[in-house]
């Protein structure tokens, strides 16, 4: 699930190489981190 999320983020980055990507990347990492800690 973690690798899948990373892959999705990378694909989004390749498709949309803009400043928006940085925001999406940061938001996604935050969500993944929260979810990871939550399931711990």
Higher pLDDT: 27 or 2? It is 27
5 Cβ neighbours under 8 A, 6+ residues apart: 28, 32
* 3-29 tens-digit pLDDT: 888 888 888 777 767 767 677 888 998
* 28-40 tens-digit pLDDT: 989 989 998 888 7
Please say whether the beta carbons of 28 and 1 come within 8 A. no
Helix and strand numbers (H, E) in the chain are: 2, 0
Please say whether the beta carbons of 11 and 20 come within 8 A. no
Q: Whole-model pTM?
A: 0.46
């Amino acid at each position: 699930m973690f690798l899948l999320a990373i892959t999705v983020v990378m694909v989004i980055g390749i498709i949309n190489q803009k400043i928006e990507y940085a925001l999406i990347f940061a938001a996604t990492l935050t969500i993944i981190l929260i979810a990871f800690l939550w399931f711990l």
